Amino acid sequence: MKKQLLAKISSRKAVVGIVGLGYVGLPLMLRFSEVGYKVLGFDIDGSKVARLNKGQSYIEHIPAREVAKARKGGFEATADFSRAKEADALILCVPTPLNKYREPDLSFIIDTVESLVPHLRKGQLVSLESTTYPGTTDEELLPRIEARGLKVGKDVFLVFSPEREDPGNASFTTRTIPKVCGGVTSACQEIGLALYGAVIDKVVPVSSTRAAEMTKLLENIHRAVNIGLVNEMKIVADRMGIDIHEVIRAAATKPFGFVAYHPGPGLGGHCIPIDPFYLTWKAREYGVHTRFIELAGEVNASMPDYVVAKLAGALNQRRRSIKGSHILVLGIAYKKDVDDMRESPSVILMEKLRDLGAEVAYSDPHIPVFPRLREHTFELASVALTPQALAKYDCVLLATDHARFDYDMIRKYARLIVDSRGKYLEPAPNIVKA
Ligand SMILES: NC(=O)c1ccc[n+]([C@@H]2O[C@H](COP(=O)([O-])OP(=O)(O)OC[C@H]3O[C@@H](n4cnc5c(N)ncnc54)[C@H](O)[C@@H]3O)[C@@H](O)[C@H]2O)c1
């Protein structure tokens, strides 16, 4: 089995199935297609399947022409999981959120595996890419696959290879971001490395699926903790009358031993606010309390309140209250230059301001209409930024510093700017850092 599969991979005759065609799965599909593999994309969302088959894209930074090119190269999307038997490799890129108790919600992974298992056959590789706690691959995937009568390491091969996608980052592509991969057995490992090595410049083997799962968590916990640290430093610096952004810029000139992280209005996105708690949950099974993660979570989660307090203080100086003020939030995506709103702190800010009685509006060149979100509703469309529009608001809150905003115009025409991103370097009477 191993030899045949390796031969199919090296001759590019292997059919690659990507399951979950979102921010992670779609670029991966494009890369396998670009190299010449036939790719089958699986998703439960029929509208995504239909759009991809028409050569369209639903992710802003992925141009439709790339999807159309992949279609010409043989890519096909489907919601029919029985077609999993056509694939030689199945790569799972489905969501791993937290439930309402902030515990891991593996239901997407389990549902996916259960839909695929009846169609698995000998000679396939299964790779899980979704961020998750150490043990998921061998505790959740392996027994389900083996219950079908297929021996992992002999009949089918199982690896964990964490995704490192950074949407909107123009400096790195799927090909140039090194890929970590750990297998259940050495044969699994060998096949996983061969598959990823065919499309990615550098593959990094680790000794087990658990080590690979933990690697991804370490990367994201490192970020969450350091962002928590600079957020705390921002509050201290502000009390002392020091500009934290100036300090970070200065510290970043040290050529070793310092990595610059930037404070903001809170954490957003699918990864950093969520993934650390996958480890917190699993660590409890081992009697370990993950104090750094909890502390960073606490500091980061308190940042929207800090920003609202700064905004209230700034309005107060102008003899106004939040109640009744017209406030324009700039940027509702969770980070600059993307259209992804998952866990965006801007939405938390908008809700807090609305609850305090403000008339809230937003402007975001990447999100023309406030989308339907499970837990948040705003019937709003993005305000076009003009001098007249800006001058109408009592306060403009810079929450996400998209490159497309005209910062000079904002400075010139906004009555009051509350800057939670350290975008404005020079002090001005209408700018308050938050
Ligand atoms: N977005 C990122 O920048 C990023 C970066 C690194 C890691 N990750 C991780 O990658 C994983 C996927 O994240 P994403 O951002 O691509 O999510 P996403 O929500 O953009 O995409 C997931 C896709 O999976 C589909 N899906 C859901 N259940 C399914 C099922 N049972 N079968 C088939 N398809 C199903 C959804 O319809 C959606 O299209 C997560 O574990 C995430 O933590 C994401």
Give the C-alpha separation, 43 to 57, whole Å: 14
What's the confidence (pLDDT) of residue 375?
A: 80
79 phi/psi in degrees, rounded to 5: -105, 5
Question: Model's pTM, two decimal places?
Answer: 0.94
What's the confidence (pLDDT) of residue 373?
A: 82
Query: Is the backbone of residue 325 left (phi > 0), alpha (psi -120 to 50) or beta?
Result: beta
List C-alpha distances in Å: 249 to 193, 243, 246, 307, 422.
39, 10, 5, 22, 11
What's the confidence (pLDDT) of residue 62?
A: 92
What's the confidence (pLDDT) of residue 155?
A: 97
CA-nearest residue, atom 30 of ligand 1: 112
DSSP string, 289-349: --HHHHHHHHHHHHHHHHHHHHHHHHHHHTT--STT-EEEEE--SSSTT----TT-HHHHH
Helices (H), 383-430: 387-392, 407-413
**Atom of ligand 1 lying closest to residue 274 CA:** 43
Q: Among positive and negative, which fits the CA dihedral 11, 145, 130, 349? A: positive
What's the confidence (pLDDT) of residue 218?
A: 98
**How many angstroms is it from 240 CA to the middle of ligand 1?**
43
CB 301 within 8 A of CB 376: no
Query: Residue 89 corresponds to which tokens in the numbers above?
Result: 């490799």
CA-nearest residue, atom 13 of ligand 1: 95
**How many angstroms is it from 166 CA to the middle of ligand 1?**
13
Mutate to test the pocket of ligand 1, among 19, 21, 24 (most ligand atoms within 8 A of CB): 24
Closest by CA position to 23, among listed 63, 61, 68: 61
DSSP state of 371: P
**How many angstroms is it from 27 CA to the middle of ligand 1?**
12
**How many angstroms is it from 22 CA to the middle of ligand 1?**
5
Mutate to test the pocket of ligand 1, among 67, 82, 93 (most ligand atoms within 8 A of CB): 93
CA-nearest residue, atom 36 of ligand 1: 20
What's the confidence (pLDDT) of residue 170?
A: 85
What's the confidence (pLDDT) of residue 166?
A: 87
What's the confidence (pLDDT) of residue 376?
A: 84
CB 64 within 8 A of CB 26: no
What's the confidence (pLDDT) of residue 270?
A: 85
What's the confidence (pLDDT) of residue 419?
A: 98
Mutate to test the pocket of ligand 1, among 96, 270, 274 (most ligand atoms within 8 A of CB): 270
CB 380 within 8 A of CB 362: yes
**Atom of ligand 1 lying closest to residue 166 CA:** 3
Residues annotated as part of the active site: 271
CA-nearest residue, atom 10 of ligand 1: 130
**Atom of ligand 1 lying closest to residue 164 CA:** 6
CA-nearest residue, atom 33 of ligand 1: 43
**How many angstroms is it from 19 CA to the middle of ligand 1?**
9
Ligand 1 neighbours by CB, cut-off 6 Å: 19-25, 42-45, 48, 93-96, 108, 111-112, 129-131, 163-165, 167, 270-271
Query: Residue 422 corresponds to which tokens in the numbers above?
Result: 């350290």
CA-nearest residue, atom 15 of ligand 1: 23
Per-10-residue mean pLDDT of the chain, 434 residues long, equals: 95 98 96 98 98 95 95 97 98 95 96 97 98 98 97 98 89 95 98 98 98 98 97 97 96 97 93 94 97 96 97 98 98 94 95 98 97 88 97 98 97 98 94 96
CA-nearest residue, atom 21 of ligand 1: 22
Mutate to test the pocket of ligand 1, among 56, 62, 78, 163 (most ligand atoms within 8 A of CB): 163
**How many angstroms is it from 225 CA to the middle of ligand 1?**
24
CA-nearest residue, atom 27 of ligand 1: 94
CB 136 within 8 A of CB 110: no
**How many angstroms is it from 187 CA to the middle of ligand 1?**
27
β-pairing verdict for 15-19 and 431-433: unpaired
**Atom of ligand 1 lying closest to residue 167 CA:** 3
